[in-house]
Structure 1
Amino acid sequence: MLLKNHFLRLWQDKRILFLYAFLTAGSIIVAVMISSQSAKFANVAVIDDKRLPVLNDQDVDIHYLDHMPLQTDLVTQKYDAFIEMKDQLIVHTYKNEDFKKQLLFLLTTNHEPFMQMAHQGETIFGFMIMFVMMQALFYTTLYGEDKESHMLERIHISGCSLLKYLLSQSIITIVLSWSSTFSILVILHISGFNIGFSLYEYAFLLSLLTLFSTAFAILMNSLFDKETTSLSASAIIVLSSLLSGTFYSFIKDDGIIGLCINVLPQKVLLDLSKHLTHFQQSQWMGLVYLSSLIFIFYSIAIVKERKSMSHH
């Protein structure tokens, strides 16, 4: 009954429902277009009048220059990295350490052609993270409305527990966020587009993303009123997604700033997508970290709401 009620109330704002679906579809299509523009792992500029002593260059576009390009060429992604040839190869890039290590590996070792499929999947998944989180935030506005109108108290008096209410709100949010995004991926896959990961892999990543997004949205709605939630949560989602490098990684992973960025949930999700086929200890720790955050967010929301209800 609660699930049906949540869905019917959301359907009253079907224009916004379709808007978020359109934005998510647009972000995925843009990611597909960007990631399929080049079959190469990276586009680099080498500053030297000598040829780069590489064993393999089939995975990297190499441009030899006699001067250092502008730093803005890295920001605009004209080049992914600058390479200077001194006693050793020195890589200048705004991308993370994993990228630098992968680039040097591709340039200096004999290997099989790089599997661009995984790299493409990472790009597509990164682009959809922010929009899926925004979807979840919209779907949970019903919780904020019910809290402000004291509907939760009336629902509780009628015999429906807070846990049952939050469960139904979470189910409808997860199902709508997951199904709308996954259906777009299925359509692109059937249409012959290269989407990087398999549909099974996307199903796993989307499940993690929607679970976390829903827990975060529930937490924000429990802490703030409806208007404040919309503004503050949207700002947090946009800023943390940009810092995490979901669209483009422009901040290095070292130092205090890098440490702070590495604990952002979006960054953890991206890391999981990069090592999807070969989980290591850090990825398992990432799963535990995300699960802990989901548990903590729900716990805070439940405690906060029960305390609020006891005062009325």
Structure 2
Amino acid sequence: MLSLFQNRWDRILTKKAIIILAVIIIPLMIGVAIMFSGKPVFKETIAFVTERDDVQHMPSDSAFRVAAVHQKPEFSDLVLGKYAAIVEKNQREYKVTTLKSKADQKMIQQFFETGKMPDSYRSEDEVRTERGTGTNILGFIVMLVLMQGVALASLYPEDRMLKTFRRILVSPVHVGKYLLVQFIFTCLCLYIPTYLAIVITNVFFHADIGFRLDILAGLLCVLTVLATGFAIFMASVMDRNISLLSSGISVVTCVLSGCFISFAPHHSLLNTLCSILPQKAYMAFIHGVEMGDSMWEYKTQIVYILMWSAVFCFLGGFITRRRTNIGIYE
């Protein structure tokens, strides 16, 4: 196993693109996210569907920017956060389509009917402040770590493509041992640069990260295990375009999980989907810890996240063994 680990280390050092991404780009993005985590966000945009070119008497409020559009935006624009809501006027009534809560939906409708938002409405800046600096920072890092994990696992599909995977299995190294080495290697290469980037930003720039460094180490460890399991699974399922598909999955699932901003859809199907995602449990976990709770008060969330990691690894190993047995990797 040690020789296989050394082999992966020697080979990853020759991958300049991955090294630059892991050692420079990702830590730089993490540092920027931490430095600007307390800055105000852009106003949310509401799409107002209208056929008129010159829209008059549109409501205005400091919490929103209202944009007139001639064609109703796609539902995906709501999912990806391009618009906070889509408003259509049917005769004298306003129809509001949004992924926000029903209470927010009613407030937006009232906004268009009366021209002002209720005093009870909270802007995105207020929501971010309530979430906490550490939760906002780690929420952004979740997406980066998920994408970076897949990049670091690229040696696995490369072995299959170059036909070296089968030759490795002829030695005393079996599929389980090979994947275990890949798991440990990916986990370490993910954890160390990410943790160091946060520590350096905190120590040298005195940036607030919301957590003590020892607590952050544990929170980041749980995330790294999840990201590594996801990377092993994606690298086992696909041979090409792994990073492209994995990045898309990471972005969409992180948006649905509320990694960037609190997300509570009132659509029953979408709400069920969001509650299943492991990132959702992770966000609840880190938010509770930042608010002063002990990590062990979130055993359910921790076990759930580790269960997802184990399922990813199991499926990755199962798929690899099955394909190996039927001779696909000959």
Provide TM-score, normalisation by structure 1. Answer: 0.73
Asked whether the equivalents of residues 253 and 262 of structure 1 are also in contact (C-alpha less than 8 Å), the reply is no
- SS at 1:36's partner residue? coil
Equivalent position of 1:62 in the other structure: none
**Aligned pair partner of 1:258 in 271, 276, 289:** 271
- Structure 2: state its 5+ residue gaps: 44-58, 67-80, 84-103, 111-117
Q: Retained in 1: the 8 A contact 2:31–2:197?
A: no
TM-score normalised by L of structure 2:
0.69
The alignment partner of 2:61 has SS state of coil
Counterparts of 1:247 and 1:267 in 2: how far apart (Å)? 11
Change (3 A) 1:171 1:235: same
Alpha-carbon distance change, 254 to 31 in structure 1, aligned in 2, over 3 angstroms: farther
- Residues 1:175 and 2:188 are matched in the alignment: yes
Contact 2:191 2:224 in 1 (8 A): yes
| 1:153 alignment counterpart | 166
Mean alpha-carbon deviation: is it higher for 25-34 or for 182-191?
Answer: 25-34
* Aligned equivalent of 2:293: 278
Contact 2:136-2:260 at 8 Å conserved across structures: yes
Query: 2:29 corresponds to which letter in structure 1?
Result: S
Query: Structure 1: which amino acid aligns with 2:4?
Result: L
State the AA in 2 paired with 1:295: A
**Per-residue deviation at 1:91?**
3.8
Residues 1:72 and 2:86 aligned together: no
2:235 aligned partner, one-letter code: N
- CA separation in 2, counterparts of 1:258 and 1:34? 30
Measured at CA, do residues 184 and 237 of structure 1 come closer, stay the same or move farther in structure 2, by a change above 3 Å?
same
> Does residue 312 of structure 2 align to residue 297 of structure 1?
yes
Alignment partner, residue 141 of structure 1: 154
Structure 1: gaps (5+ residues) = 44-66, 104-115
Matching residue's letter, 2:245: S
Paired letter, 2:6:
K
Task: Say if 2:135 and 2:287, in contact at 8 Å, map to a contact too.
Answer: yes
Which one of the candidate residues 190, 195, 211 is aligned to 1:197?
A: 211
Q: Which residue in the other structure is 2:244 paired with?
A: 231
Does the CA contact (< 8 Å) of 2:226 and 2:309 recur in 1?
yes
Q: Which residues in structure 2 correspond to 1:43-54 (within 5 Å)? A: none
Describe the shift of the 1:129–1:16 C-alpha distance in structure 2 as closer, same or farther (beyond 3 A): same
Aligned counterpart for 1:24 among listed residues 12, 23, 26: 26
Checking the alignment, whether the CA contact within 8 Å between 1:94 and 1:251 is kept in structure 2 is no
1:306 is the counterpart of 2:321: yes
> Between Structure 1 and Structure 2, how many residues are aligned?
264
Q: What is the one-letter code of the residue matched to 2:187?
A: I
For 1:173, the aligned partner's letter is T
Sequence identity percentage: 28
Q: How far apart are 1:184 and its partner, in Å? A: 0.8
SS of 1:35 mapped into structure 2: coil
